[in-house]
Amino acid sequence: MINYARQSQEEQPEAAPPPVEEHIAPAPRVSVQAFCETVETAAAVQSAGEDRRLGKAHLKIQMGGMAAAIEAYRSAPTPNVIVLESDGRNDLLGGLDHLATVCDAGTRVVVIGRINDVTLYRELVRRGVSDYVLAPVGAIDVVRSICNLFSAPEAKAVGRIIAVVGAKGGVGASTISHNVAWAIARDLAMDAVVADLDLAFGTAGLDYNQDPPQGIADAVFSPDRVDTAFIDRLLSKCTDHLSLLAAPATLDRVYDFGTDAFDSVFDTLRATMPCIVLDIPHQWSGWTKRALIGADDILIVAAPDLANLRNTKNLFDLLKASRPNDRPPLYCLNQVGVPKRPEIAAAEFAKAIESQPVVSIPFEPQIFGSAANNGQMIAEISANHKSIEMFLQIAQRLTGRSETKKQKSSLLSPLIEKLRGK
């Protein structure tokens, strides 16, 4: 479906991040060749090629527009996607007809143009153009156009990956991630899966009181077998909406992974699961960095001390630079108010990070300790505990969804039910 007359970059706020609700699924391994007429468009396409969602695409940029494209494909096969810029001075429709004579079947064409005219749009549709984007364009416009070519617009959005990581070891990032995933499944009614990536010491199985015989290690060590059916067999069901991809939490082997070791697992989960929560261990390696940068949304969990402040700032700076077309990471403060411990105030934290924490979760060792030892979530221990509302706030910010409203019963409901029974 062609998106016509998309709002131009000039009409949008200069530094506005994409809306929280907008979810652009990553493009598969495809070849993309762009033929630009202006350096501004070429720069936007180049920036788009560096976006995480086009990380698997092979992008090549040339100048010359339509004429250069026709000349290039006289003797060379066409790629999966051709991006063409037309400034409106040339014969766009005639050029497309000429291009069609040298274009391979199945190649998709995206046109970037400056003419906002319904007649032109209809002619482009008739010629099979996949998308028409009004110039001037930004990097996110190009990313959106290319990625949307490979996701059915009528399909339910799936595959939002949320990464949760601690700024320092022992700050409770796993506990937060597991309770937030519980809120996503229970309160937002989204099907979700928790992937415990700490294969040696992961606690998700303990927290959800699950002891599955198989888990994420079976997928990572058998990448050739990974598909939807294989992953389904590895999932352990915690509730109607929540599943677990558990870590073995054993030391019988060494878990040294390559940078792309988890790619096939994440790609398969994206294809079938609306929400994937990654419980990322506090370590810095190629694959943890790749998992963070490749996530749709990120939550950093920090305790209110100097080391956490430094690490959170470093993570923020890295992720903002690596993900220029995404909103910045979110962070929350945890274990706030430990007796007799000097702490950095939330306001000072926010000033250094230049961002407010989503929530500040107080230090309450009794209820959190009981939940951990019993293999339960906080909501199961105490249904009205104040931290439950905080977990829901985090879940809503990360997913862009509001709480599923439960239908309220009226004062006459008991009487009506009795009459129905009679």
Q: Across residues 53-76, what is the average pLDDT?
A: 90
Q: Using CA atoms, how far apart are residues 279 and 174, in angstroms rounded to an integer?
A: 6
Bond from prior residue into 213 cis (ω within 30 degrees of 0)? no
pLDDT at 157: 52
Which tokens hold the place of 147?
């990625």
Q: What percent of the chain has pLDDT over 90?
A: 66
pLDDT at 320: 94
- State the chain's mean pLDDT as an integer: 87
19 pLDDT tier (thresholds 50, 70, 90): very low
pLDDT at 323: 94
152 pLDDT tier (thresholds 50, 70, 90): low
Is residue 422 classed exposed, middle or buried when 0-12, 13-18 and 19+ CB atoms within 10 A define those classes? exposed
Range among 68-72, 132-136, 325-329, 360-364 with highest mean pLDDT value:
360-364
pLDDT in tens, 341-354: 999 999 999 999 99
CB atoms within 10 A of CB 232: 11
pLDDT at 159: 78
- 155: pLDDT strictly greater than 90: no
Better pLDDT: 422 or 269: 269
Q: Which residues pair with 82 in a beta bridge?
A: 33, 109
**What's the Rg (C-alpha) of the chain?**
25
pLDDT in tens, 118-130: 888 888 888 889 8
Which tokens hold the place of 182?
């519980």
CB atoms within 10 A of CB 380: 12
* DSSP-assigned letters across all residues of 111-128: EEES---HHHHHHHHHTT
pLDDT in tens, 215-266: 999 999 998 899 989 999 999 999 999 999 999 999 999 999 999 999 999 9
pLDDT in tens, 411-422: 454 554 455 444
Sheet holding 242-245, edge to edge: 236-237, 242-245, 192-196, 275-280, 160-166, 297-302, 330-336, 360-362
12 pLDDT tier (thresholds 50, 70, 90): very low
Q: Using CA atoms, how far apart are residues 181 and 282, in angstroms rounded to an integer?
A: 19
Q: Using CA atoms, how far apart are residues 243 and 208, in angstroms rounded to an integer?
A: 10
pLDDT at 156: 52
